[in-house]
Amino acid sequence: MQPANTTQDVPPQQGFPQQRPTHVRHIVLGLTVLAYAITYMDRQVLAVARPVIRDELGISLVMMGWITFGFRIAYALFQIPGGWLGDTLGARRALTIIVTWWSIFTGLTAMAWNAVSMLTIQVFFGLGEAGAFPIATRSLSRWMRPTERGFAQGVTHAGSRLGAALTPPIVVLLIAKFGWRFAFVAFGMLGLLWSAAWYWYYRDTPQEHSGVNDAERALIGPARKRPGAVPWRKILRHGNLWVLAVMYFCYNFNLNVYNDWFPTYLRDSRGMTLAAMGVYASLPLFAGTLGDLAGGWFSDHVLRKTGNVNFSRRWVAIAGFVLSGAATVPAVLAADPQTSVAFYCLAFFGLEWTVGISWAIPLDIGGDYAGSVSAVMNTLGNVGGALSATVVTYLVRGYGWNAPFFITVGLCFMAAVLFLKIDASKRIVLNED
């Protein structure tokens, strides 16, 4: 068992003086990044097309909130089954199944004809996407070294935000030329292509992959036996995990205020045209991409320098939450739309600075059961995301668009306080081989 606050050194490559390590783990990471990007691309199609869909199908803002709630609550409730699926079947088969599932329902969104049909399709879409992040986390657990985990999680989440950032102008263009229904079909096809590539290339361990040479296997670390039954009792009795999950509730509520409603906010509150909305809605997401990369990288850098996993995870994340909360206040109060969006970019950068760190902790404490551990965290997190879908619309109807963003300020500071109690060195399973 490793000391509480130290990292596990990788084995030296003394036996391979002439052999350069292959880079299969980087390709695996790249495919995982693309999967994360597709999850957020598919969500952003609805976020961007929402004003057009509301006009064509006659769906009110509040009903659109309930449609988004349907997706979010299905997504939240199936996090744990999704994580279990990845830990049981392995990431290769499990990710292939669920990405195929949700891509089909992304395409089927084009067939919606009223609010009820849209809600039904979104619920099934949420069921499929629910396993994406837990299983993807599981897919990296045997491929990433301990000092690469924060960066790997930062890169994957950066991929999701980059995908979301690139989507609004593409969707606006597709809507202008072909209509909103075509956009859903096009993005559904992208997911099906990814599923085929993943099943063909990925293997559940480096030892199973023919492209990995001995030097890369030594760099990654020794093979571990396949995990047995998921130790749910140990996982659910790990009090530190529940603090992590409540913190992620705060994060995810804030995240989905941006993901689900920022384009609508720009049009309804800031008076932007559809074309301008497509551009300005992307800017915070680009800033968030940088935050994902910087936060995960900096946390791993501090870990390498100090060997203290708690310091490197805790205080780096707290800085991000404080920055996000502080920057949101001038963003809300600024009279000029461009100034407001600039502060929202800074706020979203700070929020996303924390996410790679949050997802590195399930790897730190969960090991081969990281899929199930992260699923518990992401379940409660996405309950927060589901609540934001309806809370935002009712707050807007009663108090205007400033109210939901002021709520995010309070949740940022609450998350910072909760991170003081999160212990990334306290592993759930101590006897892994």
Each residue of 36-50: pLDDT tens digit? 888 888 888 888 888
pTM, full prediction? 0.71
Sequence letter at residue 429? V
- Domain spans of the chain? 24-221+230-419
Distance CA 207, CA 34 (A): 23
CA distances to 20, 263, 284, 420 from 331, in Å: 49, 15, 12, 27
The answer for residues whose C-beta is within 8 angstroms of residue 145's C-beta and 6 or more apart is 10, 219, 220, 221
CATH class of 24-221+230-419: mainly alpha
Max intra-chain CA distance, the chain: 69
| Alpha-helical regions (H) of 179-238 | 180-201, 214-220, 232-236
Q: How sure is the predictor about 418, in pLDDT bands with cuts at 50, 70 and 90? A: very high
Per-residue pLDDT tens digits for 230-246: 777 888 887 788 899 99
Query: Given the structure tokens 């306290």, which residue do they identify?
Result: 426
By C-alpha distance, which of 272, 46, 35, 285 is closest to 166?
285
Q: How many helices (H) and strands (E) does the chain have?
A: 18, 0
Whether the pLDDT of residue 304 is over 70: the answer is yes
- pLDDT averaged over every residue in the chain: 84
User: How many Cα atoms are found within 13 Å in the side-chain-facing hemisphere of 139?
Assistant: 32
Residue 13 has pLDDT above 50, yes or no: no
CB atoms within 10 A of CB 18: 5
| Band (79; pLDDT cuts 50, 70, 90) | confident
**pLDDT tier for residue 228 given thresholds of 50, 70 and 90:** low
Two tokens at 303? 């870990």
Q: How far apart are CA 238 and CA 372, in angstroms?
A: 13
Q: Which of 7-11, 93-97, 303-307, 403-407 has the least mean pLDDT?
A: 7-11
> With contact defined as beta carbons under 8 Å apart, do 152 and 29 qualify?
yes
